[in-house]
Amino acid sequence: MAVAKKALGSMLSSLRLIANALENHRLAHAYLITGPPGSGKQHFMERCSQLILCDDPRFGLHPEPCHICNSCVKFERRLHPDLLQLAPDGRYIKIDQIRSIQKMLSFAPLESKRRVCTITAAERLGIDAANALLKTLEEPPDNTYLLLSAISMARLLPTIVSRCQIITFRDEINSTATNREFGIEGVPEDVVPFLKYVSGKRPNLANELIESGILDLRQTLFEFLGTSRKKELFFQTSQAISNPKENIEHAIKIIYTIIRDLLLLKQPEPSLHELMVNLDKKQELIKLAQAINYDSLSEYQDRIEKASIYLDRNVNPEMIADMLLMFWLKTTKLKTG
């Protein structure tokens, strides 16, 4: 996969960390590599895997595998028996997949000194699969190293994150320099990250979303979420986000960003809070984060996915809206309106 030039510098410095740990026999048993699509995390994970499995790796400023040993030859032909790879089977990584990997990990490496297990899109681990994986992370087999990739650590169980060393390829959505160059006018600076996120960093689409009223719709949702009078506002809000029909699609995108930001606020590392996209609503989100637990937020991610599926199947928009809003009635407990 082609990797953007801006990601190469970060990749090289991160690869040096891995190489240094490998050279000094201090390699952690598990690494979590996070970053948005296109950030280079998958390419980095592949390079790390080959470096760890190589019989004669090159260290220094430009670490790399030797490319000529038996391990490298088999790795590059995708035939290495000590490289185990796991990816979602459909929408999720299932518990049976984790159990299958655990069975293979119970044996010693077949050919190399070390063994690598990669898990792609770890944010899509089902709850049962995630809990099963915890057992391996808590008691990793000898000479076995796990590399997990995910869009964000905020989408993983904190217990999994705490057992991994984190390598982050930063999202540039919140970059001030990029905000100025984004190509939209008349919008406060702290609103731009939200527009960049929901538009996929496409200025033309961002402007279309503004014209369609997405910012007004976002305000309506925040007013609903931030009050203790949700029952009274339920019908009014449901109508607003489902009529016209395109509003429900926008609402799904908006709620997804809210869940994402709340999960980030739940993380103990303050630097992760800088990755929020609803920056202008930070104080409201901090209050909301105190009224909802982590498990409920993770559960709601599944509800958002279902809403997207229902939308594709032309389910009545009002039914989808009710499903999205009902969650907040049951789970949040704000003391004041």
Percent over 90 (pLDDT), the chain: 41
Residue 75 lies in a domain: yes
Examine the pLDDT at 51 and tell me if it is beyond 90: yes
Among 14-23, 203-212, 216-225, the range with the most confident prediction by mean pLDDT is 216-225
pLDDT in tens, 215-259: 999 999 999 998 888 888 999 999 999 988 889 989 998 998 898
The total domain count for the chain is 2
Domain identity same for 135 and 181: no
Are 148 and 200 within one domain? no
Q: Which of 134, 168, 202 is the last residue of a domain?
A: 168
Average pLDDT of the chain to the nearest whole number: 85
Q: Please check whether residues 41 and 136 belong to one and the same domain.
A: yes
More confident residue, 189 or 303: 189
Write down the pLDDT at residue 201: 74
For the chain, strand residue ranges (E) read: 30-34, 83-86, 115-119, 144-150, 165-168
**Residues 31 and 99 grouped into a single domain:** yes
Does 158 reside within a domain? yes
The reported pLDDT for the residue numbered 7 is: 47
- Listed in sequence order, the residues at least 6 apart from 229 whose beta carbon sits closer than 8 Å to its beta carbon are 337
Determine the pLDDT at residue 4: 41
- Band (pLDDT 50/70/90 cuts) for residue 318 is very high
> Which tops the pLDDT comparison, 287 or 333?
287
Highest mean pLDDT among 26-35, 216-225, 295-304: 216-225
* Last-in-domain residue among 168, 192, 216: 168
User: How far is it, in rounded angstroms, from Cα 145 to Cα 113?
Assistant: 11
59 is a domain residue: yes
Residue 72 lies in a domain: yes
Q: Is the pLDDT of residue 196 over 90?
A: no
Q: In this model, does residue 45 exceed pLDDT 50?
A: yes
User: What is the rounded average pLDDT of the residues 158-177?
Assistant: 74
Residue 294 has pLDDT above 80, yes or no: no
Q: What is the Cα–Cα distance from 82 to 89, expressed in whole angstroms?
A: 21
More confident residue, 321 or 306: 321
Domain containing 240 equals 176-331
User: Do 37 and 112 belong to one domain?
Assistant: yes
- Same domain for 303 and 182: yes
* Residue at 336 is within a domain: no
The pLDDT score that the predictor gives to residue 176 is: 60
Rounded Cα distance, 202 and 71, in Å: 43
Do both 276 and 201 map to the same domain?
A: yes
What is the tens place of the pLDDT at every residue in 134-167?
989 988 899 999 999 998 777 788 788 888 888 8
Residues 269 and 186 in one domain: yes
Same domain, 147 and 238: no
Do both 20 and 69 map to the same domain? yes
CATH of the domain at 22: 3.40.50.300
Range picked from 37-41, 80-84, 160-164, 273-277 for highest mean pLDDT: 80-84
Do 85 and 233 have their domain in common? no
Any domain includes 135? yes
In a domain, 209, yes or no: yes
Which tokens sit at 330? 């049951």
> Is the domain of 207 the same as that of 116?
no
| Composition of the chain by helix, strand, coil, percent to 5 | 55, 10, 35
Note whether residue 337 is domain-resident: no
Q: Region 288-316: what's the mean pLDDT?
A: 81
Nearest one of 160, 98, 171 to 123, comparing CA atoms: 160
Weakest-pLDDT range from 28-42, 56-70, 221-235: 28-42
**Domain-ending residue, one of 117, 146, 168:** 168
